[in-house]
């Protein structure tokens, strides 16, 4: 089987090609989708490459798309269904990395690190701090998939009260393991000192967090989003930050990169990162190890793991 790999040029292309060569010598690795035709039956992409009609009409033999990422909203799933093309993602490789990033944002905000760092750099030595402890807080997790669970596991030593909401409630044994209590979303928002979002982007989650949802949150609470920017109505979040003193840690945005004139960039009680929570040296290697294993499974005639369709 022929494999086409399209990955960003910041990834180690030689290492990727060498690893995939163990599967088949018939490999084409590219950093863009600017080609006239490919006879590849397998396509490996990251979320940076749109898998749409324009692409697949140039790949008439395509049968399987492996997205080397948790997210797969770059893939036109309806189009894949109509053309009988299987799609898989890799849902676990960056879970630990994203969970750590979310906690780092929470701690940075609670400990007022952005302010304290700027004060020292300005030649001042503040005697008073707005810092507060994570211990004793109510921590709400929206989305209890692999990332939500990785986050909950890391929160246990902090002695927080963990509440969660998900489309599927965990078993009693799982709730006990992760120290979590299930509540509906409105209750979670109103009860939490910190809300961390870990949901996929789909029709039911797009713009899930709007003005009504932010109105439910406590004044001065913390909102963390490391999932997808489009799950939030950004202008409503800006309003909540300005009017309710909500503090936000955002790794994702409705538009990426955000507009240089976006009010989010001018608000002091925000901590921002460039959609990089899951991008660590270790997670990238995990992604490609699991990607290669799943493609090998498909080539051996088995149904691939983590099927999206």
CA-to-CA dists, residue 59 to 28, 43, 75, 83, angstroms: 13, 9, 15, 11
Note if 174 is an active site residue.
no
Q: Both tokens of residue 149?
A: 């669970």
How many CA atoms does the CB half-sphere of 253 hold within 13 Å?
A: 19
* Residue 185 and residue 165 in contact, taking contact as beta carbons nearer than 8 Å: yes
Q: Which of 53, 174, 176, 256 is catalytic?
A: 256
CA-to-CA dists, residue 259 to 176, 228, 240, 266, angstroms: 43, 16, 19, 11
Q: Both tokens of residue 219?
A: 């004044």
Q: Which of 114, 154, 275, 297 is catalytic?
A: 275
- 3-state SS assignment for residue 220: coil
Closest CA to 252 of 12, 43, 47: 47
Q: Which of 101, 149, 198, 228 is catalytic?
A: 228
Note if 198 is an active site residue.
no
Q: How far apart are CA 248 and CA 264, in angstroms?
A: 9
Note if 247 is an active site residue.
no
Catalytic residue annotation: 228, 256, 275
């Amino acid at each position: 089987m022929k494999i086409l790999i399209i990955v960003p040029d910041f990834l180690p292309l030689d290492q990727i090609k060498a690893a995939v060569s163990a599967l088949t010598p018939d490999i084409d690795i590219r950093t863009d989708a600017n080609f006239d035709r490919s006879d590849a039956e397998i396509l490996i992409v990251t979320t940076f490459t749109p898998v749409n009609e324009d692409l697949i009409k140039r790949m008439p033999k395509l049968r399987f798309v492996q997205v080397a990422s948790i997210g797969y909203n770059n893939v036109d799933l309806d189009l894949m269904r109509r053309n009988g093309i299987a799609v898989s993602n890799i849902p676990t490789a960056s879970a630990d990395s994203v969970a750590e990033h979310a906690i780092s944002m929470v701690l940075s905000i609670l400990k007022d690190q952005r302010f304290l760092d700027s004060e020292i750099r300005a030649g001042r030595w503040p005697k008073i701090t707005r810092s507060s402890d994570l211990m004793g807080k109510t921590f709400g997790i929206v989305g209890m998939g692999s990332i939500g669970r990785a986050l909950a596991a890391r929160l246990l030593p902090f002695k927080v009260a963990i509440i969660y909401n998900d489309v599927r409630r965990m078993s009693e044994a799982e709730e006990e393991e992760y120290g979590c209590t299930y509540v509906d979303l409105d209750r979670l928002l109103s009860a939490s000192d910190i809300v961390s979002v870990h949901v996929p982007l789909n029709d039911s989650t797009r713009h899930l967090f709007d003005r009504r949802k932010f109105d439910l949150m406590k004044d001065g609470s913390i909102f963390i989003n490391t999932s997808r920017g489009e799950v939030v109505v950004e202008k409503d979040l800006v309003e909540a930050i300005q009017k309710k003193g909500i503090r936000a840690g955002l790794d994702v945005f409705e538009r990426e990169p955000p507009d240089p004139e976006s009010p989010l960039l001018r608000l002091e009680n925000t901590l921002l990162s460039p959609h990089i929570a899951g991008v660590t040296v270790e997670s990238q290697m995990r992604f490609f190890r699991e990607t290669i294993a799943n493609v090998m499974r498909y080539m051996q005639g088995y149904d691939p793991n983590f099927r999206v369709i």
